[in-house]
Amino acid sequence: MIFIAGASGFVGGHLIDALLKNAYRFRCLARSEKVGKSLREKGIDVVSGDITIPETIEGALDGVDFIIHLVGIIEEKGSSTFKSVHVEGTRNLIAEAKRAGVKHFFYQSALGADKTSLSGYLRTKAEAEEIVKASGIPFTIFRPSLIIGKWDGFTKKLRDIIKIAPVIPIPGAGKARLQPVYINDWVKCMLKVIAPPDSFKGIFEIGGPQQLTYNEIVKTLADVMKSKKTIIHMPMGLMKFGAFIAEKTIPFLPVSSEQLRLLETDNICDMHSVEKNFGFKPVKYKDALNEFV
């Protein structure tokens, strides 16, 4: 039995569609009744609970062999902090997994995860990794770069700014490199891990076949959208200030404060990482965009 925490998110949604298509038996954790109802309508076994509240997941993993932990946030809102979700949530899930005798634990981390990072997102992802590694449960950890695809929030925000704004703003110089990976390729990697997970123990960096600057990512998306708007560079300090003041009320910023911080450094790995570890060539950024934009 497979158990998925984070099934209602962008990555989780694509994964459960693939699992249903391949007739896998699995159970999902739902934090809200709305999410639970939506999953049950697809014929999925659902349990209610929240990994940040340990008593709500007691017994949820009974009979489970393999956990897929996808819960994560890119910006903090109220009580949902990086520490509470990434660190404490993972600690709670690991504790219940050990009690239930789970045989394998998958954790979705992030490329660049580092306990010394200035980014709260990357720092807490690294702390969560340490909890998983110290658990004694055989594990697989993915460290993906930017994952793109239908429903992904990053591309949606960029599309909105390209559609709505009179010009297309780039935070800072836009020279930090990313390695976009198509969600369908991430799912292919995940399916290989599921059968069988013992063949994929350890940490795997996941990136697409191109290392692109933020400038190139924005320009490529604008080209696919057939936009001729002018691209301008905005001082990073000004963008951060604007995000801090307005990100929760104004939809004109392509990234959150935390994402702006992430855009100041490269987020790349071996361009052949997927091919070397999973045996196939991932899709290029523009080709992926042409499939869902």
Question: Residues 231, 144, 96, 14: is their CA dihedral positive or negative?
Answer: positive
pTM passes above 0.95: no
Q: What is the pLDDT of residue 247?
A: 52
Say how many CA atoms lie within 13 Å of 1 toward its Cβ: 15
Paired tokens of 86: 């990434």
Q: What is the pLDDT of residue 75?
A: 83
Q: What is the pLDDT of residue 245?
A: 64
**What are the pLDDT digits (tens) for 264-284?**
889 999 999 999 999 999 999
**What are the pLDDT digits (tens) for 58-116?**
999 999 999 999 999 988 888 899 999 999 999 999 999 999 999 999 999 999 999 99
**Can you tell me the distance from the alpha carbon of 180 to that of 158, in angstroms, rounded to the nearest whole number?**
14
Q: What is the pLDDT of residue 143?
A: 98
Q: What is the pLDDT of residue 109?
A: 98
* Contact present, 30 and 36 (Cβ < 8 Å): yes
Q: What are phi and psi of 290, to 5 degrees?
A: -65, -15
Q: What is the pLDDT of residue 188?
A: 98
Q: What is the pLDDT of residue 77?
A: 83
Q: What is the pLDDT of residue 155?
A: 95
**Eight-state DSSP code of residue 80:** B
State which residues of the chain have pLDDT below 50: 252-253
Angle at 21 between CA 104 and CA 6, to 5 degrees: 45
Sort strands 212-213 and 177-178 into parallel, antiparallel or unpaired.
antiparallel
**Superfamily (CATH) of domain 2-144:** NAD(P)-binding Rossmann-like Domain (3.40.50.720)
Q: What is the pLDDT of residue 234?
A: 85
